[in-house]
Each structure stands twice: as C-alpha cells, then as structure tokens.
Amino acid sequence: MPDQQLPPDDHVPMPRRPPSATRQWAWIGGAAAVVVAVVVGVALWLPTVPNGPDGRRIVERQSAAQAFPGGLARQPASENQPGRRETQARADGDTTTAQRIAVIADEPIATWLTDPSVTTTRETVREVVANARRQDKTPVFVLYTIPDRDCGHYSKGGSTPAEYLPWIRSVVRAAAGSHAVVLVEPDAIAQIHVCKRLSDSRLPLLRKAVDELSGHGLTVYLDGGNENRVPTATMAGWLRQAGVDRTQGFFTNVSNFYRVDQERAYADRLADAVGGDPHFVIDVSRNGRGWLGTWCNPEGAGLGQSPHVTAGSSRLDALLWVKTPGLSDGTCNGGPAAGQWWESYALDLVENRKDGDG
C-alpha cells in the first residue's frame, strides 16, 4: 500500500483519546452490541413466548398466502407419474387416454418422499425445489419414511429408528430456505389408535422430527387424521405431544375420501381442542363423491376440486392434492400394490369427477 498522505497544514487533527477514553468507548460499543444482540434475539424468540393455553409456547401462525407464497407449484416431469403416463399414451397414439390422464397430470400434486436413501431423497428435493423456484410457487412435500410405517400393512416399510432423523436432516438441508410446505408422515399419529405398539415411540420421534424441521424457512403440518377415526380430544393431545405448537398446524383426509364440508368441520373442532389456533390443509384429490364405505380403492370415487390456496379468511390454508390420483391404496378391491399406478382407476376418477365443493 502507498504511504498514507498527511493532512494539509491548515487541517487541525483531532486529538487522540487517552487510553482510558478508548477503553470507555470500547466498553460502550461492546455493550451496545450486546443490547442489539439481545433485541434481535428477543425479536426472533417472541413468536414462541408463552402465549397459548396452559402457558404453552406457540409459534405465530402464518397467513395462507405466507404459507404458500406464489401458490402451488406443479411437479417436474420426473416426479409427475400421471404426466409420464400421459406422455406415453400420446406417443402410442392414444389421444383419448392422454387427454383424460392430463386432467390429473396438469394439477399441482404433492411430492412424496418415501425412499430411506439420503442421497436419493436429497436429489429429489433439490430437483422439486428448483422446479418450483422457476415457477415462483411453493412446492409441497410429503414425508413418508417413519419407522414401522403403516404398522406393517399395505404401505409397510420406512426407515429404521437410527436412520430416521438423519434422513429428516437431509430433507432439511436440501429444502432449507425454499419456503416449501412439508406434510409430516400421513397416518403416523392417527394410526396409534389401532396400532398400540406405536404408542410409546411414535410421538417422541415425531417431536424430534419437528425439532429438526423448525427454523429453516419451511412450513410444517402434522398428521391430523380425519373425521370418524380418532376421538377429537385424543387426537388433540397426541398432536400437542408431537410438537404441533411449533408448526403451522395439521393436515386431514390424506388418501381419504371425506367431503370438504365434513373435514373442515372436523378440523375446526380439532383445532379448537388443540388450542393456540393451529391452521390446517385438507386433501381433496379423490373426494369428489365423498365417503364410499372404505378408505381402500373404493368403487365410484371421483376427483375432487382443483387444489388451491384459500383466501386466508379462516384457519383453512389450502385444499391440496396430496395423494396422487391414480395410485393404488393397496391390494384391495382389485388394486395393485400400494403406490403403484392403476390406470383404470385413474380413468374412473376422471370420469367420476364432480365439480363443486368436493
């Protein structure tokens, strides 16, 4: 560096502070920094001060628009199973089938993360996030690798207890700051009602998952089951134990068929029982004909209304297509294995679609 120029002769330099004054100013500056840090810390901490029933600390819930900035993103082609089938049908010259499948493929559908592989999951999340960013919309993920998933039934599998939280952390690292919506483990809480071996381990594990997901720019909802499944007071207690006070709220009707008006009434009762004004989202992917007597591939089911973010005038944040229409619920009523594409069922869902409330 060149030598620093001296001030001109007519410039009177400021006298140097004595060492004691220097130390005093250093002390004041340090104190100010501490005050700023405390103020910032308090500002960040304020949303979780004791502000709910029984002195609970409850996060400040976002509006629907804040929870889903830009609206709902569509999946990239690599994750859109109906879209892949539509493309194949067009290549085969089957325009009629392609047009019917496009009714499903063109809608925003949640992306399910079901593979316990950290590497595969990270790549999927990054691809979906990048695709949503290009649309300037919000991606929706469904975490579905809880240990002892589905209590050993049609969708059995998932991570081991040792693998689960590292897997959650891999999702967080890939999605952090993306404003993605994360639906944590459908059935994971409601299924405790009929699978008693889950009662001791499931809720503490979900609470740890919430710990990992919190504070990274993600909007998290927990499993709220659906009406006629678990007593509302019981479900509310389980949600509190799972950490719902540190999330946006809960989801209902995932992979099920109850109508919006029924589910919304149930969700409002559940939110009241939880306390602290949790918000909720409802799966309307296949509820166009309402409950048809079974949750597993019922005959006559139809697509629900198009997924969308609400106006934000209530606790209902969005109506979503969480379950991918056309994927089987399991080997029941003639279906293939759970999660497999079942084209005849997909076409029936389109044929039976009913516009309106769903």
Active site residues: 150, 187, 329
In which region does residue 217 sit, left (phi positive, over 0), alpha (psi from -120 to 50) or beta (all else)? Answer: left
Cα gap 254→191, rounded to integer Å: 13
In the three-class reduction of DSSP (H, G, I as helix; E, B as strand; rest coil), residue 59 is classed as coil
The alpha carbon of residue 96 and the mean position of all alpha carbons in its chain are separated, in whole angstroms, by: 34
d(CA 276, CA 266): 16
Phi, psi of 305 (to 5 degrees): -65, 160
**Extended beta strands in the chain, E state:** 111-113, 140-143, 181-184, 219-223, 249-252, 279-283, 308-309, 316-320
Neighbouring C-alpha atoms within 13 Å toward the C-beta of 26: 7
Torsion of CA 257, 259, 260, 263, to 10 degrees: -70
End-to-end CA distance of the chain: 73
Decide if 193 contacts 229 (C-beta within 8 A). yes
Say if CB 326 and CB 81 are below 8 A apart. yes
Comparing CA positions, the residue from 245, 320, 255 lying closest to residue 281 is 320
In terms of Cα–Cα distance, which of 250, 263, 236 is closest to 183? 250
For residue 75, what is the DSSP state? P
